[in-house]
Amino acid sequence: MKIDIHTHIMPDKMPNWVQKFGYGEFIHLEHRNCKACMMKGDKLFREVEDNCFDAAVRLKEMNETDVTIQVLSTIPVLFNYWAKATDGYETSRFFNDHIADTVAKDPTRFIGIGTVPLQDIDLAIKEMERCVTELKMPGLEIGSNINGINLSDEKFFPFYEAAEKLGCALFVHPWEMMGEQQIHKYWLPWLVGMPAETSRAICSMIFGGVFGKFPKLRVAFAHGGGSFPLTIGRIEHGFNVRPDLVAIDNPVNPRDYIGKFWIDSLVHDDKAMRYIMDVMGEDKICLGSDYPFPLGEHHPGKLIAEMNFDKSLTEKLLFKNANEWLNL
């Protein structure tokens, strides 16, 4: 069995929200000459394959790679945190309804997690409640920052409190990477920016005391935790030598929070995989592929399978840890 916690999906048809709302660069999909084009306003953002929106193609590829269940989440560029709150609320509901409909058609193969308009905490909580109670989603995907505001900001605490009470898992995915405009060449925002952005999110939640204040909050981070596992020594050292800068909101050593959250397995390297298992713990790593995008693991779980772990450990990584994170 395999549960892939990190996959993305979008509807094949979306409203042209730029025309409807009269501003912004909302994404919509245009089908042109057998190509699907994600349009950001009137500009081409990215061409995508039909496995990004066609569930039948997705199921075929899941069967070919022996993936039992995909956890479906929206594409981060569709978070729309920059939009007016009511407009972000509308787009979030649209994407969540699409994911819920996809799950309803194949409930043994798909699990959905939602998106919410975190530019407005009240609306975000309202939509989270709908996702959990009405759409039966076990969790949400959120960005690594919200319009440049770190996840440690106290404005998000009511959201975390509500997620904890609802038993709603959170999947943190990098987006709007730090310094993106300065490192645009060579695909560096994705190769360098995303790992740093994920570490930014983890460190923000640790130093802001989020895991201490909300101990039952179940959070997973994408891309093997980004650069955090490799730099935990530096992070801890900084905490020890400059507590006046680092420990201003939380006096607890950051290493003490290892084991309090999950990461996915998307590291593309067997040595890196062994390292994150050693540092983060074999119980806190879940199979995650970033399907269907090029930087993902094209055969989900292949790296884990080729490392010849014993059956018990392999099962933890491929599905049991995911069950624990999602509380399935």
pLDDT value at 72 more than 90:
yes
- Give pTM, 2 decimals: 0.96
pLDDT tens by residue, 8-27: 999 999 999 999 999 998 99
What are 94-138's pLDDT values in tens digits? 999 999 999 999 999 999 999 999 999 999 999 999 999 999 999
Burial (CB < 10 A; 0-12, 13-18, 19+), residue 86, is exposed
Q: Name the DSSP letter for residue 108.
A: T
Choose among 182, 120, 171: nearest CA to 146: 120
Q: Which CATH class is domain 3-326?
A: alpha beta
Percent pLDDT > 90 in the chain is 90
Identity (one letter) of the amino acid at 21?
F
Bond preceding residue 254 cis, omega within 30 of 0: no
15-42 average pLDDT score: 85
pLDDT at 33: 67
**To which H or E segment does residue 271 belong?**
helix 270-280
What pLDDT does residue 29 have? 85
CA distance linking residue 80 with residue 116, whole number of Å:
9
Q: Is residue 28's pLDDT more than 90? A: no
pLDDT of 43 strictly over 90:
no
Q: What is d(CA 290, CA 223) in angstroms, rounded to the nearest whole number?
A: 8
Helices (DSSP H) in 65-214: which residue ranges? 85-105, 121-133, 157-166, 188, 194-207, 210-213
Which of the residue ranges 49-53, 167-171, 259-263, 278-282 would you say has the lowest mean pLDDT? 49-53
* Share of residues in the chain with pLDDT > 70 (%): 99
CA gap 14, 33 in Å, rounded: 18
Predicted confidence at residue 40, as pLDDT, reads: 85
Cα–Cα nearest to 162, from 115, 111, 217, 208: 217
Q: What is the pLDDT of residue 34?
A: 59
> pLDDT digit string (tens) for 179-206?
888 898 999 999 999 999 999 999 999 9
Q: Among residues 116, 120, 161, which one has the least CA distance to residue 135?
A: 116
212-221 pLDDT, tens digit per residue, is 999 999 999 9
Domain residue ranges of the chain, discontinuous segments joined by +: 3-326
Residue pair 163/170 in contact by the 8 Å Cβ criterion:
yes
CA-based angle 151:141:10, to the nearest 5? 140
| pLDDT for residue 32 is more than 80 | no
Instruction: Work out the average pLDDT over 251-258.
Output: 98
Task: Quote the radius of gyration of the chain (alpha carbons, Å).
Answer: 19
* Residue 282 to residue 59: CA distance in whole angstroms: 29
